[in-house]
Structure 1
Amino acid sequence: MTTSVLLDAGVVTRCRRRVHLEHDPTMVGTVTAPPDPTAEQRKADATAHRRSIADEIAGLVGGVDGEGWTEIPRGAGHRSAEREQATLEAMAARAPHIWAAQLPRDHPGGRRGAVDLLVATEGGYVPVLVVRHKVSDPGTGAQTSPLASPVPSARGADPARRVRPQPRDQLKLAHSYRLLEACGQSDGSALGGVVGLDGDVVVWHDLEVPSWPGGRGALAEYDARFADRLAIATTAATGGEALAQPSRIVECRTCPWWPVCQVELEGARDVSLVVRGEEAGTLRAAGVRTVDDLARLDPDDDSLPPTGMPLTDAVGLAKAWLADLTVVRRIPRISVPRAEVEVDVDMESFGDSGAYLWGVWLSGADVGEPHGYRAFATWEPLPTDDEARSFATFWQWLTLIRLRASARGLSFRAYCYNELAENRWLLSSAKRFAGKPGIPTTEQVQAFIGSDAWFDLFGSVRDHFLCSRGKGLKTIAPAAGFAWRDAEASGENSMRWYRDAVGMDGSPADDGQRRRLLEYNEDDVHATLTLRRWMTSPAVNQIPYVGDL
C-alpha cells in the first residue's frame, strides 16, 4: 500500500490509540501533557552514552578522520533529506562504519528512520543500536563481538554472557533492516547488533530466530505490528473511522496524550479505568464496557470469559471506584506477621548502574542499637567500588541486629515494599562484589530472602486490599495516615536529585540534594512501618469491606 504517512520504529511499541492521535489532523493544536523532566533526562543520558560509544568505536576502527569511520552530521542546520543523501553516498562508497545514518525514506512501505551505526558486510550493511540499558546477563549463549570489530563476521559464542530479552531493541533493528532492504543495501542476513550500558561488546541478534510467541521471529513480529500501526495512522490521516479506541494501560502514566484520553474514558466510564490492558479488552468483548457494567456482574457467573484477575476482585474494584474509594478491604480480617525486633528496609538505585543507598528503620525491643532511621550510602558517582563498602556496611549491620535478637531470644523480621527491587540488588551486590570485605555470599543472601525473616509488605497489601488507583506505596500509605514531607517525592524524581547529589554532570556535588534523598528514603521506610502498624490495628477496620459495598 502506497501512503503519504511515514512512521518511525517507535510506533511498533507505542499505544495504538496514541498512533491514531499523532496522525489525526483534527488533533493539531490540542493541549497535551508537558514533557516529563525525568524522561527528558533519560533521553539526554542516552544521547551522551551514544556519543561516548561512538567516540570509542571510532578510535578503535580508524578514528573520526580516518577511512574506517564516517559520521553523518546531524542537529540544527542538517535537514533530513541532506542526511539521507549523505548516508546513501557513504553506502555507495562502501564506507565500513557509518555513524548516525539517516536511512532513505521508504514511501511505498510507509517507513522512515535513523540508526546509530551501519557496518558493512560482504553483501551490504547491517544495523547496530547503542542503548543505555543492559543487553546481557551473566551466563552463556550470547553471540558477541568486540567493539574493535563490530561486525557479524567477528561474532562468537560468549562464555560469560547470555542475552537479556529486550524486545524493543529487536523491533528497532527489524525496522532498520526493512529500511535497508527498501534501498537495496541489506545484506540479507537478518542480523542486527546492540551495544548496551556496559559498552564493552556488541550483542548480536538473529531477527528470524523463532523466539517470540507463536514461534515467530522478531522480523515477523515487527511486520505484523507495523502493518497494524500503518493502517491506524493512514486511516487517521485520511479521516477514516478510527481503528484504535482509547483504553487505559501502563503507558498512559507518561503519555502526552493522556489528558485527551482521560476525558474520553471518564466520560464513558470505561471499564479500563478499573482493569487495564488485555483484561479490559476481554471484558469489552463480553459486553462489559463500563465500570457500572462490571460492578453489576455476578462474580460467580461462570459464563463470563476469564480475565487476569479473579472476577470477584474486578467487581470489587468497580464498586470501590464508583464509591470513590482508593482502598477497600478484600477480606474481613487483616493480618501481617510481626516480630519483637523489626527493621524496615528501602533501597535506592540509579538505573542499572548500582544501588547507592540502603536505608533502615529499627523498631521494637532493645538490641543495643538506636531505634529509628539509619542510612548506608555512597556518594561517589555510580558505578563505583565504594558501592561495595556501603552495601557491606548495611549487610553487617542487618546481620548484627539479627544475631543480637537471636541471642536475646527475640523474634526478628525485616520488611520491604515490593521485594523485586531489593532482592535484585541484594543478589547483584553479592555477585558483583564477591570476595570484598564484608560482602556476603550469594548463598547467604538467598537464604535470607527465602526465610521468614524477610517479608514483602506489598504482597500483604495485594492479598488484603483492593486498590482502585494502584497499589504503590505512595498510594496505599496515605490511607494509613502517612504523608511524605517532600511534595515531589517519587522514584522518578529521585533520579534527578541523585544526579545533582553526586555532581554527575560535572557540577559540584549538591549537599542539599543528598539531604533530600536521605529524607525521601527515611520517609519510605517510615511509611512501611506506619502501614504495617496500621494494618495490625483496629483502625484498619475503618476501611470499608468490599462485601459491604
Structure 2
Amino acid sequence: MLTVGGLGARDLAGCEHRTALDSSSSEVAATLPHTASAVRRMEAAALHRAQVRQTLRGFHRDSWIDISETGLQSHADRVEMTMRAISSGTRWIWSPALPDDPSGAHGSPEALVATPEGHVPVIVVNHRVSHAAPDRSRVARVTSETVTSPLWAWMPGRDPARSARPHRRDQLRLAHLRRILISAGVRTPWTGASIGLDADSVIITDLAPIWQGYLATFNRRRDIAAGREPTRPSRVGECRGCRWWPVSCEPRLLVDHDVSLVVNGQQATALRSHGVTSVDQLARASSAPDEWAGAPFDDAVVVARAWLADVPIVRRVPRPTIHRADVEVDVDMESHGEDGAYLWGTLLTDNTDPSVPVRYRPFASWSPLPTDDEARSFAEFWAWLSARRAEAAEAGKTFAAYCYSQSAENRWLRSSARRFSGFDGVPTLAEVDEFIDSDQWQDVFEAVADGFICPHGRGLKTIAPLAGFTWRDPEAGGEASMEWYRRAVGIGGRADIGQRTRLLQYNEDDVRATKVLREWIDQRAADEVPTIDELPLAGSAAQDDRRR
C-alpha cells in the first residue's frame, strides 16, 4: 500500500484522485475488497506471469535464480540476495527485490537480465505489446522499427515483422524501475523490456525519449501523495474497477450532481473549464465549449435532462425503425482476447411460419486457443448461415442476420477467413466482405444509436433490460466470460465442463437479448419511451424530487 511520499509504478498512471486516496487513507484502502473484475484480472495476470516464468526458466536454467524460491521472508533479505545475484553476474534474476529510492520510488520488475550494457528491467504484462507489422513494401517511408529479442537469448535487433504497441503505463513503469536501479547503484542502460500476452518475444523500449515526461509525472504524483497537490473525484473508465468508487467517489459525485456522471472524462474537463460543473448546469446549457469532442453536444444536454428526470432512455424520433425480414438470425460471437473466436451462437426465427421453433444453435471449439479447430467451428457456422440464406432465397423469403455492435463480429469474420484460408469449408475474404456489406447483415447497436439517446450507455446489458430481457447468470459479461473460458478449456488446470455450459447459456442469452431488443424497437418502443420534447425541463418539480 502506498505510503505518504512513496510511489509504486501503479500510482504513476490512471486516476490522480485514486493516488491521493490510497496515500491519505491507506488503512481504509487496505480493508476495501477488490471488485470481482479486478480479482479476475489479477488472477489472469498471475497465471500469465507463471507461464512466462516457466518458459524463461526452461531456456535459461544454467544462469537463473528465482528470488521468490529462496525462502527469504523479509524484503531486506530478498534485496540483499538480489544484489548478490547482480554482483555475481547471474544472467536472469526472476522476482528480484529492489531497495526503495530515497525519493520514495519503490517497485520491482518481474525479472532482471544482465546485458553487456548493464541490467535491464523486464516486465511481464497481460496485454498485447506488439502485433504483426504491415507489409513494409507498401509503406513509402518507415520512420522507425520495433526492436525485439527472442526469449531464448538476449539478442536485441530490428524486427521488421513486428510493430510495437506502446502502453503509457508500461513505459512509466519501466522508467520508474530504471530510476530505482540507478539509485541502488546498478548499472542499467536506457532501455526496458516487456513480454506481453503473446509471449513470443521480448519488446525493447527506448526510455530516453520518455524520461523527462516520467520525471514530471513522478514529481506531480509525489506531490499528490503528500497532499501538496489537491485532487477531486471525477468519473472515468477506471472507476468501474476501483475499490474507492462505491465508498467514496460515487456518493460524493451524486450529492454534487457532478457533470462527469453524464459525460466522458475529456468532455467533463472541457465543461469545467467553462464553469459547467454540475448535471443541472449542463441541462440548461445552450452552447458547447470550444474543446468539445465526441457525441453531439445537444445529445449531452438531453442526457443531463434525462438523468435529472431519472429517465433511462429517450426517443430521438417519433417512431424508431429497424430493418426486418421474413427469416431472421441473431448472431453473437465469443472470443478470448486476441487468440481467436471460439464460439458463434445463432438464434433462428421464421416470422412466416410459427411452427418453426425459435432455436439456439452454437458452433464452438473447446480446444484451447489458438487452435486449428477454430477453423472447423467457423466453417460449420458459415455453412449453416449460408444454408439458411439460400433456403430463404429459394422460398422467396427475405433474410437478415443481426448482431449487437458489429465491429467485433466483423473483425473475427474477416480474420477467420484470412487465417484459415484453404481450410475445408472456410469462406474466402471476398465472400465474407460481400455478406458484411449487404443488407442481410444488420447491427442492432446502430439502430439503437439512430433511434434513441441513452443516458447510461448503449451496451446490450444496459439496453436489453429496458425491453424486458433478463440474463440468467447474474455475473454475465464479457470480462467474466474470459475467466469462464479459461476454466472451460483447462488453462492452468483441468477443464471444467460446467463452465462450457455456462458460456453456452451466456451466449444464448445474448442472442435472445438481441432478438427481444430489435422486436421491441419495431413494435413497442414508440409507445413506451418518451421523446426529447416530453422530458421535463431542467429545474422542474420532478428533477427537484431527484435532487432531494
> Under a length normalisation based on structure 1, what TM-score does the superposition of the two structures give?
0.88
Alignment match, 1:228 = 220
Alignment match, 1:448 = 435
1:106-161 Cα offsets, whole Å, 9 max, x none, are: 122x2111101211222311122222322222225432221111x3xx22233432
Alignment match, 2:458 = 471
Q: 1:179 & 1:35 partners in 2: Cα distance? A: 28
Alignment match, 2:85 = 90
User: Within 5 A, what are the aligned runs for 1:140-219?
Assistant: 141-149=145-153, 151=154, 154-188=155-189, 190-208=190-208, 217-219=209-211
Q: Which amino acid aligns with 1:383?
A: P
Q: 2:70 & 2:357 partners in 1: Cα distance? A: 56
**Counterpart pick for 1:481 among 445, 461, 468:** 468
Q: 2:316 & 2:225 partners in 1: Cα distance? A: 42
Alignment gaps of 5+ in structure 2:
135-144, 536-548
Alignment match, 1:14 = 14
Alignment match, 2:312 = 326
Alignment match, 1:310 = 296
Contact 1:131 1:196 in 2 (8 A): yes
Q: 2:395 & 2:32 partners in 1: Cα distance? A: 56
Distance 1:227 1:462, change over 3 A: farther
1:251-284 Cα offsets, whole Å, 9 max, x none, are: 1111000011011101111111111211111111
Contact 1:177 1:186 in 2 (8 A): no
Q: 1:161 & 1:441 partners in 2: Cα distance? A: 25
Matched, 1:293 2:281: yes
1:362-411 Cα offsets, whole Å, 9 max, x none, are: 12356998642111112233333322211111112112222333334433
| Counterpart secondary structure, 1:111 | coil
Q: 1:218 & 1:453 partners in 2: Cα distance? A: 48
Alignment match, 2:59 = 60
Q: 1:419 & 1:353 partners in 2: Cα distance? A: 19
Contact 1:133 1:352 in 2 (8 A): no
Distance 1:445 1:231, change over 3 A: farther
Distance 1:223 1:303, change over 3 A: closer
* Range that drifts further, 481-490 or 27-36: 27-36
Alignment match, 2:120 = 126
Identity of aligned residues (%): 47
Alignment match, 2:327 = 341
Distance 1:360 1:244, change over 3 A: same
Q: Which amino acid aligns with 1:29?
A: V
Q: Which amino acid aligns with 1:116?
A: E
1:426-467 Cα offsets, whole Å, 9 max, x none, are: 233233333222222333333332333322221222232221
Q: Which amino acid aligns with 2:178?
A: Y
> Under a length normalisation based on structure 2, what TM-score does the superposition of the two structures give?
0.88
Contact 1:33 1:258 in 2 (8 A): no
Contact 1:72 1:83 in 2 (8 A): yes
Offset, 1:12: 2.1
Q: Which amino acid aligns with 1:255?
A: C
Matched, 1:358 2:362: no
Q: 1:521 & 1:75 partners in 2: Cα distance? A: 46
Alignment match, 1:213 = none
Q: Which amino acid aligns with 1:405?
A: A
Alignment match, 2:68 = 73
Cα RMSD between the aligned structures? Answer: 2.5
Distance 1:117 1:394, change over 3 A: same
Contact 1:122 1:187 in 2 (8 A): no
Q: 1:293 & 1:75 partners in 2: Cα distance? A: 60
Offset, 1:33: 5.4
Contact 1:125 1:185 in 2 (8 A): yes
Q: Which amino acid aligns with 2:80?
A: Q
**Counterpart pick for 1:257 among 241, 244, 247:** 244
Number of aligned residue pairs: give it.
Answer: 521
Offset, 1:317: 0.4
Contact 2:4 2:24 in 1 (8 A): no
1:22-53 Cα offsets, whole Å, 9 max, x none, are: 0114x633697532334323322322322222
Q: 1:263 & 1:136 partners in 2: Cα distance? A: 40
Contact 1:38 1:495 in 2 (8 A): no
Contact 2:79 2:98 in 1 (8 A): yes
Q: 2:289 & 2:36 partners in 1: Cα distance? A: 47
Q: 1:535 & 1:428 partners in 2: Cα distance? A: 31
